[in-house]
Structures are given as structure tokens and as C-alpha cells.
Structure 1
Amino acid sequence: MSQKVNVGDKAPDFELVKPDGSVFSLKSQLKDKNVVLYFYPKDNTPGCTKQACEFRDQYEVFKEQNAEVIGISSDSSESHDDFERSHRLPFVLLSDKDNKVRNLFGVPRKFGIIPGRVTYVIDKNGIVRYIFNSMTKPLEHVKNALEVLKSIEKQ
């Protein structure tokens, strides 16, 4: 069942297995850092590759803002591993094969079938501070998330 997470809501906790076999927990990650959680449709597609590479290129800036970037799609861990390696992605991609986490956050589908592209900025307290939903503007996800993080760190 799909819920809709809104700005100001507490982000739902979840666990997914990382490509290396260890478990990622949102709650554990938030102990130390803000999290930029981005859902994307598919590995190695033009828009998703642009978006992932832009997150890669700005990764040091995200770290300076005390944030970790996490990508999620329904692709397999093997697909994520190849995608990470071929584009030298320094952040974790998680496999949400059955769309449980996507549904937990209420990420919409385009035309009811294509998994949506939505980015959430979650502060260290677990509060969703920003949501950006755009299939056609993958690079704006990165730019906007950085702007929000800079404002959080100033507070």
C-alpha cells in the first residue's frame, strides 16, 4: 500500500541490502548525517545516468554539507554494481526489487507504469525537508538538494 510522504513528515525507516551484502538502514545513516535519498527509474538509461553522474560530480560538496547520497531503483544489486563501477559512483545504490520502499514513500509512477524520479532531503532528525519530483529534469534534483542542504547547515 502506498503512502505519501510530505515535507515536514518523519521519513519512514527502512532497510535494504547493499550490493556488498551488508544492510543499509535509514535510521542508522541519520545518526551522523543528512540524507539525500533519490528514487530513479532504471540503471544505464540516459536521464538516470546524467542524474547519477551529476550526484557523483557534486559528491564532495554533499559531504561538505554533512550529507550522504543514496540512490534507489528496482534494478538488481548486480545491475547497481555494474552501474556504480562503470560510472565511478562514490555513493550507494540500493535495490528495491519489490518496490516496498518506493511505496513506503509514495513515489508516483508516470503513466502508472514508469517508476518515478523523486528526491528527498532528510535532515539528521529524520524530518523530510524537501521533495523534488521531476522525470524530465534529472540535473535539477542535484542542484536543488544542495541548496536545501546549505540552508539546513546554516540553521
Structure 2
Amino acid sequence: MGREAVKVGDKVPDFELNRQDGGIFRLYDLLKKKNVVLYFYPKDRTPGCTKQACEFRDQYETFKEQGAEVVGVSSDSVDSHKRFERIYHLPFILLSDKDGQLRSLFGVPRKLGILPGRVTYIIDKKGVVRYIFNSMTKPLEHVSTAISVLQELEKEEELKHQEV
């Protein structure tokens, strides 16, 4: 029986995967310092995925201002990710989920049962999923939605500090 999909309000499972620079990425190491925008996408250098990656790149400073790091995941190889990063000057981490284990750990759905889905998770520093955006056909909305969710999280944090 498959694991249930990760939902809003769930504590996200920790994981380790290879980064495009050959290092090992561990989610909880990053969550100690930042919120994480974890986005699963179908394939490097396809039209929608390229558009989406370039939009994350173009808005990257905004994500940093919101105290967040962007992390892209697909089943492409580390070498494919290196090329993708180099061609489009991507400033964020790309992870190679070769066998799709992370995708199934999160329960990322497939489109028509075959295409890897396009899903973005906004995870706060406590490791809690605060928002999930699932849309195959709106790659750019993943970016704008992530920014507005992070702005909401920042407002929540400010309110908490004022109450203390």
C-alpha cells in the first residue's frame, strides 16, 4: 500500500538527494534557517519547465527577501540538471530524484498516469507544509502563488512577535 500524499498541515518527511553540484542536500538542514519552496517538475529543458525555472530565477531575490530557498526536483540526472542550470543561469538548488522515490514519498500525482506532475510545496521552518499548488498547465502561477503564500507567512510571524 502506498504512503498517503503529503497534505497542508503535515510535517514534511526529511530526505537526502544529490544536488546538481554533486553535493548531498538534506531538507532539514535547510529548514533550520529558511522556509523552503520545494517544487516538483516533469523534465529539464521542456517548454513549461524552462519557463517555470526561469520565472523562479527572475523572482529569486524576492524569495530570498521572504527568507525562503527555492529547490527544484525532477527525475533528471545530476548532469542534466548541471546543463539546465548553466544554460538558464539558475541560482537555486536542483535535485535529482532518479528513481522517483521522493516524488512517491510526497505523493506527487502523475498526469494521465504517466507524466510526472508539477506540484509546489511551501514548507515553513518548523517543517510544516503550509500550502500546496498543483497545476500542470500553469507553470508561472507556481511562482506567483509561492510568493504570496510566503508574504502571508511573514505577516503571521510579525503578528506573533507583536503579541509577545
The percentage of counterpart residues that share the same residue type is 70
Q: TM-score, normalised by structure 1?
A: 0.98
**Residues 50-82 of structure 1: per-residue CA shift (max 9 Å, x gap):** 000000000000000000000000000000000
Q: Tell me what 1:154 maps to.
A: 155
Q: Tell me what 1:67 maps to.
A: 68
What amino acid is aligned across from residue 151 of structure 1 in structure 2? E
Moved over 2 A (4+): none
Q: How many residues align?
A: 155
Residue 3 of structure 1: how far off its partner (Å): 2.8
Residue 2 of structure 1: how far off its partner (Å): 4.2
Q: Which has the larger radius of gyration?
A: 2
Task: Please tell me whether residue 20 in structure 1 is matched to residue 21 in structure 2.
Answer: yes
| Equivalent residues in 2 for 1:6-155, closer than 5 Å | 6-155=7-156
Residue 20 of structure 1: how far off its partner (Å): 1.8
Residue 17 of structure 1: how far off its partner (Å): 1.1
Instruction: Determine if contact 1:71/1:93 at 8 Å carries over to the other structure.
Output: yes
Instruction: Determine if contact 2:22/2:78 at 8 Å carries over to the other structure.
Output: no
What amino acid is aligned across from residue 112 of structure 1 in structure 2? G
Aligned equivalents of 1:53 and 1:75: distance in 2? 17
Aligned equivalents of 2:7 and 2:99: distance in 1? 22
Residue 16 of structure 1: how far off its partner (Å): 0.2
Aligned equivalents of 1:5 and 1:97: distance in 2? 20
Unaligned runs of 5+ in 2: 157-164
Instruction: Determine if contact 1:15/1:26 at 8 Å carries over to the other structure.
Output: yes
Instruction: Determine if contact 1:3/1:103 at 8 Å carries over to the other structure.
Output: no
Aligned equivalents of 1:20 and 1:46: distance in 2? 23
Aligned equivalents of 1:80 and 1:122: distance in 2? 23
- Bigger fraction of residues in helix: 2
Aligned equivalents of 2:18 and 2:43: distance in 1? 18
Aligned equivalents of 1:35 and 1:3: distance in 2? 21
RMSD: 0.7
Aligned equivalents of 1:131 and 1:99: distance in 2? 19
Residue 110 of structure 1: how far off its partner (Å): 0.5
